[in-house]
Amino acid sequence: MAASSKTTVVLKTVKNIVVQFCPFESNVRSTREFLVLVGSEKARSTNMNCEVMTEVKHDQSEPVVDITFMDGERLMMKGARLTSKEMLTALQSRCVAKDPQAKITAKK
Amino acid sequence: MAATLCGRLLPKQGWLPLTQSVRHGSKAVTRHRKPMHILKQKLMAITEYIPPKPAAPPGALTPRVKPVQEESGLVLLLKKDLQTMFQDCKMIAVIQNNATNSEDMLLLKHRLHKHGIKIKFIPNQVMRSYLADSPYINMGPLFIGQTVLFVSKEPKVKEMLLSLRTSPQMVLLGACIEKILLSRQGVLNYAKLPSVTVVQGELVSGLTMLTSQTASMLQRHPTHLSLILQQYLKQQAPAGSTNGTPGESPPKAEETA
């Protein structure tokens, strides 16, 4: 039933995550929730090299999450109209796709 | 009942008519539905009685009015605290924390306590309901998710920023410093400002610069002043003549005279 079976993400294939938002905007809730999920201790402990950087701006820009993977691929998510769950499942699916062997052995 | 049971209980031998009776050729149900003509059937189907639907009960139609919940005592207490806090403290900063450890939190608290900055945890609902009534309503959208308040009586922004730099998970969202709402950039700029006395000194020196120059000139020997004024006249005269129009030089001569 839950779209993501675990609330934590495995960040092994992620190089760094940059989250930028403007807190005075009204469409920021999902991005902030996503930041909490990704910046939590559990998620960070899966990969200590992955940096989670936050930029707080005040230029009425859209909230954007920019994720760089180990193989150079970039995932940009514009969080204005997305929920935090959708963003999390998108990230998780890509992580699993990139590193299927580790996931399969972990699940086994 | 006897007729249904007789099929099982009646063995071909040993049948006692006195104790076991069998109704032969008589049916229980004698009233059968008479076959109707198809047209009559159709007519009957069309003209069936449709009972009127009962109206919905009065409770279902009116929208349910939620009873206005009175704020509990704790909420009122928190609101009073907030009121005093906003009146006393010059600096109130809003920080989002993404799951900081308790050890990190303790360290941070200790560091901030040295500078007289207190950390407050207030539920967002209470905060938002308080801000809606107060003049600080524009701070409302900041309070989404996990937020922590740093309050202090003196606006010690530099120390706060230094201690926040050590904990990467605490993100500064905004601050209300001396009743002015500032964004993160605003807070950083505020930290770079020199102190009030320095600014006042600069302002005073800038305003009195001209007068101090004239005062110093007058204090010197008056020949110095007369030489300067003669030089000034000489500079004005060629400038008037090189322009060419005679209309300009008489007004200038009138001005210098």
> Per residue in B23-61, pLDDT tens?
777 888 889 989 999 999 999 999 999 999 888 887 777
Residue predicted with more confidence, B155 or A101: B155
Kindly state the DSSP code that residue B116 receives in the 8-state scheme.
T
**Residue B241's pLDDT band (cuts 50, 70, 90):** low
* pLDDT value at residue B46: 95
Cβ-Cβ pairs closer than 8 A, A with B, add up to 52
The yes/no answer to whether this complex scores an ipTM above 0.85 is no
Inside any domain, residue A24: yes
Name the amino acid, one letter, at B41.
Q
- Same structural domain for residues B223 and B159? no
Name the amino acid, one letter, at B114.
K
Over residues A33-84, the pLDDT tens digits come to 888 888 777 777 778 888 888 888 777 777 888 888 888 888 888 888 888 8
Q: State what percent of residues in chain B have pLDDT above 90.
A: 9
Please give the residue range of the domain that contains residue A39: 14-98
| Distance of alpha carbon B100 from alpha carbon A42, whole angstroms | 11
Kindly state the DSSP code that residue B140 receives in the 8-state scheme.
G
- Same structural domain for residues B112 and B223? no
Inside any domain, residue B147: yes
- The domain total for chain A is 1
Q: Which residues touch B9 (CB under 8 Å, ≥6 apart)?
A: B20
Report the candidate in B86, B175, B198, B171 with the shortest Cα–Cα distance to residue B131: B86
Report the candidate in B127, B118, B117 with the shortest Cα–Cα distance to residue B158: B117
Inside any domain, residue B90: yes
| Distance of alpha carbon A67 from alpha carbon A95, whole angstroms | 11
Which stretch of DSSP H or E encloses residue B104?
Answer: helix B102-114
Residues A63/A80, Cβ–Cβ less than 8 Å: yes
| Distance of alpha carbon A43 from alpha carbon A29, whole angstroms | 20
Query: Longest C-alpha distance within chain A, in Å?
Result: 47
Report the candidate in B114, B171, B130, B126 with the shortest Cα–Cα distance to residue B147: B171
* pLDDT value at residue A108: 64
In chain A, the residue whose alpha carbon lies closest to the alpha carbon of B98 is A36
Q: Would you call B170 helix, strand, or coil by DSSP?
A: strand
- The domain total for chain B is 2
Nearest CB among B99, B141, B171 relative to A54 is that of B171
Per-residue DSSP letters for B171-237?
Answer: EEEEEEETTEEEEHHHHHHHHHSPPHHHHHHHHHHHHTHHHHHHHHHHHS-HHHHHHHHHHHHHHHH
- Same structural domain for residues B100 and B211? no
* pLDDT value at residue A7: 67
| Distance of alpha carbon B81 from alpha carbon B30, whole angstroms | 88
What value does the CA radius of gyration of chain A take, rounded to a whole number of Å?
A: 14
- Same structural domain for residues B198 and B122? no
- Asked if the C-beta of B189 comes within 8 angstroms of chain A's C-beta atoms, the answer is no
In chain B, the residue whose alpha carbon lies closest to the alpha carbon of A37 is B98
Residues A92/A9, Cβ–Cβ less than 8 Å: yes
- Same structural domain for residues B86 and B160? yes
Inside any domain, residue A49: yes
**Residue A6's pLDDT band (cuts 50, 70, 90):** low
Q: With 0-12 CB in 10 A as exposed, 13-18 as middle and 19+ as buried, what is A79?
A: buried
Domain CATH for B123: 3.30.70.1730
Q: Does A24 contact B98 at a Cβ distance shorter than 8 Å?
A: no
Q: Which residues of chain B have a CB within 8 Å of the CB of A25?
A: 141
* pLDDT value at residue B41: 95
Please give the residue range of the domain that contains residue B148: 73-192
**Residue B240's pLDDT band (cuts 50, 70, 90):** low
- Same structural domain for residues B220 and B148? no
Among B177, B192, B207, the domain-final residue is B192
- Same structural domain for residues B167 and B79? yes
Residue predicted with more confidence, A105 or B246: A105
Q: Which residues touch B143 (CB under 8 Å, ≥6 apart)?
A: B94, B124, B127, B128, B131
* pLDDT value at residue A2: 42
- Same structural domain for residues B198 and B93? no
Q: Which residues touch B164 (CB under 8 Å, ≥6 apart)?
A: B95, B170, B172
- Asked if the C-beta of A59 comes within 8 angstroms of chain B's C-beta atoms, the answer is no
Compute the mean pLDDT over every residue in chain B, rounded to the nearest whole number. Answer: 79
**Residue B255's pLDDT band (cuts 50, 70, 90):** very low
Over residues B171-223, the pLDDT tens digits come to 888 888 888 888 888 888 888 887 778 888 889 998 889 888 888 877 887 88
Residue B98 Cα, gap to closest chain A Cα (Å): 5
Inside any domain, residue B63: no
- Same structural domain for residues B163 and B79? yes
In angstroms, the Cα distances linking B114 to B123, B159, B216, B237 are: 26, 10, 49, 68
Q: Does B98 contact A58 at a Cβ distance shorter than 8 Å?
A: no
**Residue B243's pLDDT band (cuts 50, 70, 90):** low
- Same structural domain for residues B203 and B148? no
Inside any domain, residue B16: no
Inside any domain, residue B237: no
- Same structural domain for residues B169 and B214? no
* pLDDT value at residue B179: 81
Q: With 0-12 CB in 10 A as exposed, 13-18 as middle and 19+ as buried, what is B61?
A: exposed
Kindly state the DSSP code that residue B17 receives in the 8-state scheme.
T
- Asked if the C-beta of B164 comes within 8 angstroms of chain A's C-beta atoms, the answer is no
